[in-house]
Chain A
């Protein structure tokens, strides 16, 4: 049993995009704030802090997670993935990111990190999604700029590309 006192800061350790990180937080600190302001991982955005907009969505231990509805203390020892971990390297974009760029699937980019995380997580498990499935998945995100359809197109294109490259690798 671990009981963390309200008024003091406690160490929180976890793996962030493959790297172990540690910082201190009061029990009430939200994971979104912890990532952004304690760890400087500002790619995860905050749009509502009540679970609706989806901007803060990340992956914790393989689960899509609203980081605004999660305490930093809850993810001690967990494995986290955020938008900062999506690109294969600092100067290259991944397949999904490229598809977003090609299709103008973002404008202000504020909603984008959360949407990318949902898609990245989903496409890894569902390599051949239908448009309806993508729409259902992304109904948990709000984008105010794009009208969504370029996002859906980018997702389907990325899925196809990922599937064919996976096929190539497995054929090889």
Chain B
């Protein structure tokens, strides 16, 4: 089932280790339960544990926070709110020039569901959570906006005064002469895209352990942070200490990241602040509910992309209009997602004229951050969908349109219109090989046969360039050239590696690549073993980072697929530098020229006379034991730290051309899918993915990256979306709502390789970690578009969304039967109406509606009803629906009283499980027999925890409760014993808010 990789060749010495799929050094510990992840490591005695109280509202003012009851709970050390944190920190820096602050905890106002509101520090996590429930926060909700285009509307609620109209940045770019190209081109094609929000959600959540030394005002932090370490400067600044007083360490193992663990940094600030305020070490392990609601995600983006096209399908110019949604705060390094691909907006194609408008907006959603693919999925979804549309529009084969536009094999290094320098490749050859090895002809025959049987079968194609090793200066493209001049140049990407030899001559390597499971330690042992003529097992690699002791720079970390291309190459260079010195030492000992020295099989020997040799460990140890006997010019060989930054990574030029990445792999994918006629589920029949990622250092790991990225991309295409309702409620708050692919959804992709080494990297390697996250979503979308013959595809391909497109109008309900209220997607307000006949006269019913004593006696679980005024009541209720119970404070006011005929009830209920608000109009009309006809209509909304973790059942259950309420009201008014069932809007609201969807 799996395709073979070059098999491990257990060392007979001469062939290099690099390029072999040796077993990983990481695995023995991980397979036997001896990994050392952050929550596996001990903490100092007396360490406290934090829990975080989070906003249930998408947008609201915080009127008050009452932590007193929480503070009184035994075991609670402190409750910190925004103002406490503010007292010891400053705002996080914001990536654009604007008078806007960005705090890691809400200050006076919340802007997304899940935003931290208070930190509770206690003896253990359970107690901290107990206390969190006792904190009373009063909110005044504001209007929320979740759609990036909606955020730009004139009447949209504004999140930050410093971002007028929610617009954080608006830049236009022009390369070549796009206007003329569009004017002269015979065809123009355009596509509108809404790329959804999703996240690669590692299975290990965030973790932070922080302590503060008041004497030196220094922080020590252990966090499963993944880099980039430019963020270290952001954290130190927020904590108001110089960088040398923020010692940031990472644990030996990390349970995946895919970019996401960059987003732990605001919590580093919060937990460090908590440590400072309590004077004790504080530990926080994020839970899954917190992670889904409030860690980070990829950006969602609205794009309009137009192409000027010749009759043969040649694309002459592109016009990009991108509106990037970064969520509620523009947190470092955003808006990097938008600019990471700036040099690559023409993909794998030779297109000279490009126009770009890039807008960045804020909305009431979780702030975005690094996520595997980082801007690539958004760009390629637009570009490659457009290529398919061009083909269809011109009656051409989509593959022919791709081929017509590919950059020529002789053109490398190729400078794209927007400034990227594509290092190497042969795209035509890669496509040709994939078509053959992936058996495209056979797949087409399969499609024909399936269609002949009336099945929905389609084929999709994608060609993408996968950038890797980010230029630390690309993000400054968001600034104008003048602003950049003022800010000073930013460019390059420093990689570092340290090679050390100890007194017995054994080799240690340290890098700052912060692996998240990719096996860096194994690959480095191969790379360095080759340099020293040793075996990988002789090399011990350490990848933990300690910013107080280790070599690192802002580019350090695990992102932009920089390991193989930059870090492994730097380790090679560092080892070679040491080897050069060792060669000189050995040469003097062996009485040969240094040029005659080779390292092989554990010896340093003369090339000409291999018998003339000395054990590697002896030469290696000499610097320790006998520095006096080293040749004068050799220098020490104890430890060498090397920094490497590629000269190609220059800052943006005055025309805003930017070489945003160092290397550029090439991917060509095609696939066959079938859409089930009944369920409309997409099944992948065959997925072919051809990669040219330069020199392959470890085939098993390269394929591992491809498979892993493919599975995540499959999730993005078919299952995953961080869904928000129009009111900003977060709807996918558990792993039963945010659906990750499992074994039953993920097939084995057919992987093919071609190796065109990069001339820009020491080992010839390019990045490979993110490519399929860029290519696969759109490849699957193209295939489904082909299968269904439809133009508009929105991810994820939720089967229900295809119904109208595939089947047209629905069979109507039988005459006189039920009808369905039209619903707008995203609108979660519940509306309804009904009526009941009641025995009592309207006056009687009226009196009951207004009487607190009756209310208290009939509301189940009612602790108290306070009459604030004649028309304003407040109640404390504990309610349960099935197994779900919660305590609520309900507030109800009566309006438009028209005794005894009609009244409007408006109110809300809040509790730990969420909040509800509703408005209902009740009308009472005498029925002529001494009774009353009661009619009602209502409009209710529910949000908070219940909405995000119980979405599946919430609305339905709410309707049930509302129905029950009015039935009970009718029964009570009729004099019949109203058993169970709430009687009042209090009960209605509180009960509704207490519902849980029961999803696991």
Contacts and interface: CB of A to CB of B under 8 A. Distances in A.
A and B touch in the complex (CB under 8 A): yes
Contact of B1 (A47, A106, A144, A149): A149
A102 B519 contact: no
B734 A52 contact: yes
Contact of A42 (B39, B201, B289): B39
A153 interface: yes
Interface string A41-66: 11111111111110100000000000
Interface stretch (B176-184, B249-257, B449-457, B505-513): B249-257
30 contacts: A42-B33, A43-B32, A43-B33, A43-B35, A45-B204, A47-B205, A52-B736, A55-B203, A100-B27, A104-B703, A107-B518, A109-B255, A110-B255, A110-B256, A112-B31, A136-B743, A139-B744, A142-B740, A144-B200, A144-B201, A144-B740, A147-B708, A147-B709, A147-B711, A147-B746, A149-B2, A149-B746, A149-B748, A152-B743, A153-B1
Contact of B32 (A83, A141, A144): A83
Nearest to B42: A40
A139 B517 contact: no
Contacts of A104: 21, 24, 700-701, 703-704
Interface residues of B, number: 59
B258 A101 contact: no
Contact of B704 (A29, A83, A107): A107
Nearest to A116: B31
Interface of A: 26, 28-29, 36, 41-53, 55, 82-84, 86-87, 90, 93, 97, 100-104, 106-113, 116, 131, 134-136, 138-153
A145 B289 CA distance: 20
Given A43-B34, A108-B256, A138 B2 contact: no
Q: Which of B24, B31, B40, B744 has the most CB of A within 10 A?
A: B31
State the main secondary structure of chain B at its contact with A. loop
B288 A109 contact: no
Nearest to A69: B1000
B98 interface: no
Given A36-B40, A107-B256, 19 more contacts: A42-B33, A47-B204, A48-B734, A50-B735, A55-B203, A82-B33, A93-B31, A97-B32, A104-B703, A106-B30, A108-B253, A108-B516, A108-B517, A109-B253, A110-B35, A138-B743, A144-B711, A146-B711, A149-B2
Contacts of A100: 27, 31
A41 to B, nearest CB: 7
A109 B28 contact: no
A145 B35 CA distance: 16
B625 to A, nearest CB: 31
B626 interface: no
B997 to A, nearest CB: 12
Interface of B: 1-2, 21, 23-24, 26-28, 30-35, 37, 39-40, 126, 200-205, 253-256, 258, 287-289, 516-519, 700-701, 703-704, 706-712, 734-736, 740, 742-744, 746-749, 1000
A103 B670 CA distance: 26
State the main secondary structure of chain A at its contact with B. loop
Contacts of A50: 288-289, 734-736, 1000
A13 B699 CA distance: 47
Contacts of A146: 704, 707-708, 711
A53 B1 CA distance: 25
Contact of A52 (B735, B744, B747): B735
A144 B708 contact: yes
B40 A42 contact: yes
B393 to A, nearest CB: 35
Contacts of B27: 100-101, 106, 109
Q: Which of B30, B204, B518, B708 has the most CB of A within 10 A?
A: B30
